[in-house]
């Protein structure tokens, strides 16, 4: 089982690395183009504000921006695909690093307005909540803490996350100090 999880984590890391490489290549090409000479040994002077407003400058900048947007959209789609696959495989909150909740959050980190990520997060909320409650009842408090932190990231200040934190604090050793610390946030 751990070999499968490790393999999945490795595959996920490769997918993320590919998407990151695309973004870095676009950024490197942009930097390279900006530092290129005209071919006769002369350096290109930086653009003035007026030159930057010309249609030619806008086209170059627009192309670069479009490339970055395209790479970011591709990375978002890949994260959403992984979230859907994990959801369908009932990997709602575990294993760590390869579950629907973490992949949806990754898509939202890429695009804060991602409708797909918002939809997946809304769909998995109840299942994630029941999984955390089972973890708390089963004494798996460290895993419950990890998932509660993810739920808090998904919906900061949500009543669900606050309720789960309280349940965990009551079940954990030293619950009074843990609950007080969580309420001070």
* pLDDT by residue, tens only, the chain of 185 residues: 555 555 665 666 566 556 655 554 555 444 444 444 444 444 434 444 444 444 554 455 667 888 889 999 999 999 999 999 999 999 999 999 999 999 999 999 999 999 999 999 999 999 999 999 999 999 999 999 999 999 999 999 999 999 999 999 999 876 544 445 555 55
- Residue 40 belongs to a domain: no
What CA–CA distances, in Å, run from 29 to 25, 41, 62? 6, 20, 14
Query: How many domains would you assign to the chain?
Result: 1
Burial degree of 141 (CB within 10 A; 0-12, 13-18, 19+): middle
Examine residue 46 and state whether it is found in any structural domain, yes or no: no
pLDDT for the residue 148: 98
Q: Is residue 41 part of a domain?
A: no
Q: Which candidate, 150, 146, 157, 159, places its Cα nearest to that of 124?
A: 150
- How much is the pTM? 0.62
The answer to whether residue 61 is domain-embedded is yes
- Is 45 a member of any domain? no
Where in the sequence is the domain holding 74, given as residue range(s)? 2-35+51-184
């Amino acid at each position: 089982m751990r070999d499968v999880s490790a393999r999945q984590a490795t595959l996920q890391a490769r997918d993320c690395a590919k998407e990151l490489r695309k973004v870095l290549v676009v950024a490197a090409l942009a930097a390279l183009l900006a530092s290129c000479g005209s071919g006769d040994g002369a350096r290109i002077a930086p653009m003035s504000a007026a030159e930057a407003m010309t249609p030619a400058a806008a086209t170059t900048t627009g192309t670069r921006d479009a490339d970055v947007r395209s790479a970011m959209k591709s990375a978002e789609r890949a994260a959403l695909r992984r979230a859907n696959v994990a959801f369908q495989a009932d990997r709602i909150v575990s294993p760590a690093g390869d579950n629907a909740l973490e992949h949806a959050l990754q898509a939202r980190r890429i695009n804060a307005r991602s409708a797909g990520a918002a939809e997946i997060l809304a769909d998995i909320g109840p299942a994630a909540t029941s999984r955390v409650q089972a973890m708390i009842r089963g004494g798996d408090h460290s895993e419950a803490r990890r998932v509660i932190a993810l739920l808090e990231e998904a919906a900061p200040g949500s009543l669900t996350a606050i309720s789960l934190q309280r349940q965990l604090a009551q079940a954990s050793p030293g619950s009074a100090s843990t609950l007080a610390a969580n309420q001070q946030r």
